[in-house]
Structure 1
Amino acid sequence: MLTAPHIRASQGNFDPKVFLGRAEPGRAIERYSRNQKIFSQGDVAGSVFFIQKGKVKVTVLSEHGKEAVVGIFSEGQFFGEACLEGVAMRTTTSHAMEDCLITSITKQAMLAALTSEPKFATFFIAYLVSRNSRIEDDLIDQLFNSSERRLARLLLLLANFGEDGGAQPIAINLSQETLAEMIGTTRSRVSFFMNQFRKKGYIDYNGKIEVHRSLLDAVLRDKPQIRQDE
């Protein structure tokens, strides 16, 4: 599971949303409606995507037909950048989780921008370094933490706590099945922990999830530890 990192929207006078918000040769701005597919596993990989608005879910389908969520990406984040490393075919499928505004940049245009725009290159490298660190954290989380703690961490990451203070609850539109896939457990466990989190005031949950600061405080105190599993 990957919840991609957020890098500050601007560095000095450079704003990636402005830079990537202009349609130019090799760069297109497209709108996607909720559940609309952006690319499919097996498609030719020739573009990088930058989310101007909305959230995107990335999944992978095994040869046995089992689907798993491998990433959730939101405003200000990139996905599909493996093509820059020479990956020829998409290894995942992406869908818009809500109405999205996305900039697609061809591989050639992206490489040209990284060469001609040093500030953009600095921003993109910082994003990749932060993302790599997040992947390592996710692996440690899967190896050593209980499913309850993994769920708490996932909710905090999806709510972007720690970004610009992160004091306000942020709504997340995700099913319990998706959350279970992302932390490697069952939907029944997720349902149990979500109910306990709600009773303790860590979240509000009624179709949407509202994550509160108290969940972060509980995790920092090495809680919630509602029940030790695994």
Structure 2
Amino acid sequence: MNEKKEDYIKVLFDLGGSRNRISNKLVAERLKVSPSTVTEMMVSLEKINWVNTLPYKGSILTEEGKALAKQLIYKHRLWEVFLVNHLGYDINEVHDEAELLEHSTSLLLAKRLEAYLKFPEYCPHGGAIPLNLIEAQEDEIIPLTECQVGDIVEVQRMTNEEYVADYFSNKDVKINDILEYLDENKMVDTITIRNVKSDNTIELNSTTASYLFVKSKR
């Protein structure tokens, strides 16, 4: 499977596609391609049984696609830990480097890298690393945009593109922060939250907020 197909599988999983259908629009925004390009790729991936697609409802990973995505994510997150902890990369710099490395990393090399790193459980973006924990984490988190007014949640992970990390850093939202979901404004595509620790009220773009994954504290 070529790298482009691998990227689609991984992005679907990263957006919650192991348990929910993900719209082509959201995948297109994440990969910076047109929705029609996503549609074509989903048809191709469905033919090889890695996704199940329904018109206007989006795509969800099959068991085979899910297993492949977890391996890619496992390798990617290991490289992020290595780059940050051993080569001095900033969290906002590691995604593109790890993206290159994951595609050329065998499972044997990944296992040895994991042992060298002393079996880390989470990457700098809060994503679980061990294969069994990756799916367990996905089962208990939801995108921030799926919350309801009044919900109190803890930030578990964010997607690992540099612009996403930069965006939330500038908004002073970090892994393990406790947030209160205050409001949603569909007219201007924003949501409003309160960072409980700092007591700051923060307005977020809804699309980018969908790349932040949280767990209920109630």
TM-score (norm 1): 0.30
More helix by share: 2
User: If the length of structure 2 is used for normalisation, what is the TM-score?
Assistant: 0.31
Relative contact order, higher structure (CA 8 A, sep 6+): 1
